[in-house]
Amino acid sequence: MILILLGPPGAGKGTQAKLLASKLQIPHISTGDMFRDHKARGTELGKTVDAIMSSGGLVPDDVTNAMVKDRLSRPDVAGGFILDGYPRTTAQAGFLDQVLVSMGRKLDRAVSYEIAQELLVDRMSGRRSCPTCGAVYHVTANPPRTAGACDREGAALVQRDDDKAETVARRLREYDSKTEPLKRYYHERGSLSEVAGTGAPDEVLAAALRVLGRAS
């Protein structure tokens, strides 16, 4: 199954992508995680995207598209995959269409997580992640067993620098102007399903599995 997860920053795409990947046994491909990994490793790409990400802007389409095309050339995507945070612009969506054609594959569904804007700021400001394993928590909605420490690794949890209040506002504006129009793009192609992003993560997962015809 080939899935795209759409939704504003903080909607729960990463959380849902991990749950879906485990349920459907297909890889979770997050462009945000890939960029953060490049930054952490200090690669040339990481240096290119660092300031853009910290300011809450979008990485240029050609840079992002090249990274995704390369990722989709790996053999583990043969049984399907979940794209989280890509595409984010209409140009990226058009590029992905071409890549899928060249692979002889077809998108199954673009799932859009719907959530009121007021809730997003709290979701982002409370988000903490493990620098070692990437596990994502929320200080109140999904806290670790010991405050500030990863359940699995024990490592001190960190806040993303782009989850600070000043950057969050820019990211929400970028979403509204550049990414939200993709809902129409996929709706016109008959591929869009909207799912409520509120409720507990397992309820959101169940709603997505229903629209995907995978309810158990």
Which residues contact ligand ADP (rule: CB under 6 A)? 7, 9-15, 31-32, 35, 52-53, 56-59, 64, 85-86, 88, 92, 123, 126-127, 136-138, 141-142, 162, 171, 200-201, 204
Q: Which of 4, 10, 3, 2 is nearest to 122 (CA)?
A: 10
> Please, which residue, 65 or 104, has the CB nearer to ligand ADP?
65
Distance CA 14, CA 19 (A): 9
Q: How many angstroms separate the CA atoms of 203 and 106, rounded?
A: 27
80 vs 134, beta carbon nearer ligand ADP: 134
C-alpha to C-alpha distance for 128 and 126, rounded to whole angstroms: 6
Q: Which of residues 10 and 26 has its CB atom nearest to ligand ADP in the complex?
A: 10
Select 41 or 104, whichever has its Cβ closest to ligand ADP: 41
Q: How far is the CB of 138 from ligand ADP (least distance, A)?
A: 3
β-strand 28-30 against 81-84: which pairing, if any? parallel
Q: Which residues are catalytic?
A: 13, 88, 127, 160, 171
Tell the smallest beta-carbon distance from residue 201 to ligand ADP (Å): 4
Shortest Cβ distance from residue 171 to ligand ADP (Å)? 5
The type of residue at 77 is V
Residue 193 Cβ, how far from ligand ADP at the closest point, in Å? 16
How far the first Cα of the chain sits from its last, in Å, is 16
CB 160 within 8 A of CB 131: no
What is the maximum span of the chain, computed from C-alpha positions, in angstroms?
A: 48
Stated as kind and residue range, the H or E segment containing 67 is helix 61-71
